Amino acid sequence: MSEADRLTIAGGIPGPELMETAGRAVADAICLRWRACPVSVLCGPGNNGGDGFVVARLLAERGWPVRVALLGSRAALKGDAAHHAALWSGPVEPVSPQCLAGAGLVVDALFGAGLARPLTGAAAETLRAIACPVVAVDTPSGVHGDTGAVLGYAARATLTVTFFRLKPGHLLYPGRGLCGETLCADIGIVPGVLDRIQPLTRRNTPSGWPLPSRGADDHKYRRGHCLIATGIMPGAARLAAHAALRAGAGLVSVAVAPARIAEVAAMPAAVIVRPSADLPSFVRLAAESRVSSLIVGPGAGADGRTRRRVLAALATGKALVLDADALTAFAGEPARLLDALPASPVVLTPHEGEFGRLFPEIADDKLSRARHAAAKSGAVVLLKGADTVVAAPDGRAAINANAPPWLATAGSGDVLAGMIGGLLAQGLAPFEAACAGAWLHGAAAEIVGEGLIADDLLDALPSAIAAARDHGDIGHS
């Protein structure tokens, strides 16, 4: 963001003008949501504080009773912040709990997304004392803009107004849970600066990936064939198979032990059931020329049989989703899996527990952990959660933000694995398939609503896919 500001200023837009526009965006957002009431504006010692002085001046001009408190002295302010502080004609008091007296609204302009140290002293003490709605400028003070981590303390905002593009901390928990409504304001930064900055992290939206195209001359073989290995819980494979079909795969087969064929009677009639008594028979099925993607893991059992199937699937060189038990099966010897991964286009879909068993040495924030794991393994890593992160070995990452809490139910991960496998079968690249699967998964859950069970996602997927095709760019990334 600092580079975006610098390039914009170098292009002819003065820094004070950018700050004026930013503060105006905050003041406008406040006036749209609240009636005039006593407001305390907490200003920090940097540019975030400068934004706060603009907000204070504009609200006062519109008839709001405004108190301004500053962390530090006016004499210590520099640059654009000093310029706008000089335009404030009212009193300035120290940041302390006393400056909140009588406030019906607080503007938190203490620190923005660049804060890298824990909040202490008067700043933390004052934020803890707030007892009314908070509007945060850029990020709630105390939220790390790159990771979403809370640095000591951060007040929960009702509204957060940021500028130009969202920051990772707006999308990653726990920061995301403290931002309230998040508004990304256009302050005049030319979008073309992104071409020079080339950020590798984006919010996961349909504008970031293509869904497979459809044509009048399509046929089932052109849309790909996904093969799913079943195991001790065939219901999980059923969910994955149904999801792969809904995601558009032309054919979906399940490899089933003969003794368990009766247990898969609930499979959709469109799913092809292929007897697979042992590893050689699975290898023969996986090697068939028309099979374009494989899924191993849902309901497989975390045992030696699953390990052998995973390694056999990797040896085919075909697009592959490894989920659930396919990951846990290597918990005691992760190197055995990681050494075999670079030979195939693979998507790993761990939740936090599975991730820890596979990458026990990686301890960092979620975005960094997913990136490090992708670089180490050579696979695309989809690290699940309310703030699912998809990371590619080349450093690209996407943060998913549309997953509702009711997705936390048995079988929903099997549906996600099936969707990704179905997209891979149609030729979508692993990173794009994982991103599309994560977004469609959340969109389908939103369509269903509370009370969702995993099976409900399957019927909602066509509507989610239609929404993705109509979606376009849904906002700043």
- Confidence (pLDDT) at 263: 79
Range of lowest pLDDT (42-51, 262-271, 406-415): 262-271
**Predicted pLDDT of residue 221:** 80
According to the model, what pLDDT value does residue 190 have?
Answer: 83
Residues 437 and 465: their CA atoms lie apart, in Å, by 10
Q: Which residue type sits at 21? A: T
Using H for helix, E for strand and C for coil, what is the string for 8-26? HHHCCCCHHHHHHHHHHHH
pLDDT at 267 over 90: no
| Selection from 337, 334, 380, 373 nearest residue 357 by Cα | 334
Q: Which residues of 56-78 are buried (b: 16+ CB within 10 A; e: fewer)?
A: bbbbbeeebebbbbbbeeeeebe
pLDDT, tens digit (0-9, with 9 covering 90-100), for 181-190: 999 999 999 8
pLDDT digits (tens, 9 = 90+) for 373-411: 999 999 999 999 999 999 999 999 999 999 999 999 999
Q: Which helix (H) or strand (E) is 445 found in, with range?
A: helix 430-448
Q: Please state, for a pLDDT cut of 90, what percent of the chain lies above it.
A: 88
- For residue 275, pLDDT over 80 is answered with yes
pLDDT class of 269 with cuts at 50, 70, 90 = confident
Q: Which two tokens stand for residue 250?
A: 């032309």
Q: Give yes or no for residue 107 having a pLDDT over 80.
A: yes
Region 114-142: mean pLDDT is: 97
Name which of 192, 127, 194 is nearest 166 in CA terms.
194
What is the per-residue pLDDT for 192? 87
DSSP one-letter code for 76:
G
- Mean of the per-residue pLDDT values for the chain? 95
Strands (E), 225-378: 225-229, 251-256, 272-275, 293-296, 319-323, 346-349
CATH number of the domain located at residue range(s) 206-471 in this protein: 3.40.1190.20
Concatenating the DSSP letter of every residue in 119-135 gives: --HHHHHHHHT--S-EE
What pLDDT score was predicted for residue 215?
78
Q: What is the pLDDT of residues 6-23, one digit of tens each?
A: 899 888 999 999 999 999
Task: Identify the band that residue 268 occupies on the pLDDT scale cut at 50, 70 and 90.
Answer: confident
Average pLDDT over residues 265-277: 87
Q: Is the pTM of this model over 0.85?
A: yes
- For the chain, give every domain's residue range: 2-199, 206-471
d(CA 422, CA 437): 9
Q: What one-character DSSP code corresponds to residue 150?
A: B
| DSSP letter assigned to residue 143 | B
Which among 386, 412, 241, 247 has a CA at the least distance from the CA of 324? Answer: 412
Count, residues in the chain = 477
> Which of 50-59, 73-82, 213-222, 393-402 shows the lowest mean pLDDT across its residues?
213-222
From the candidate CATH numbers 3.90.1720.10, 3.40.50.10260, 1.10.340.30, 3.10.129.10, the one assigned to the domain spanning 2-199:
3.40.50.10260
Using the predicted structure, report yes or no on whether residue 142 has a pLDDT greater than 60: yes
Contact 366, 340 (CB under 8 A): no
Residue 218 pLDDT: 80
> What are the pLDDT digits (tens) for 193-221?
988 999 999 999 999 998 988 877 787 88
CA atoms within 13 A on the CB side of 381: 33
Q: Fill in the amino acid letter for 67.
A: R
The answer on pLDDT for 305 being more than 60 is: yes
User: Above 50 in pLDDT, residue 473?
Assistant: no
d(CA 357, CA 440): 27
8 A C-beta contact, residue 228 and residue 237: yes
Least confident of 98-107, 140-149, 206-215, 296-305: 206-215
* Cα–Cα distance for residue pair 70/94, rounded to 1 Å: 5
284 pLDDT more than 60: yes
Residues 345 and 433 sit within 8 Å (Cβ to Cβ)? no
Whether 437 and 476 have beta carbons less than 8 Å apart is answered as: no
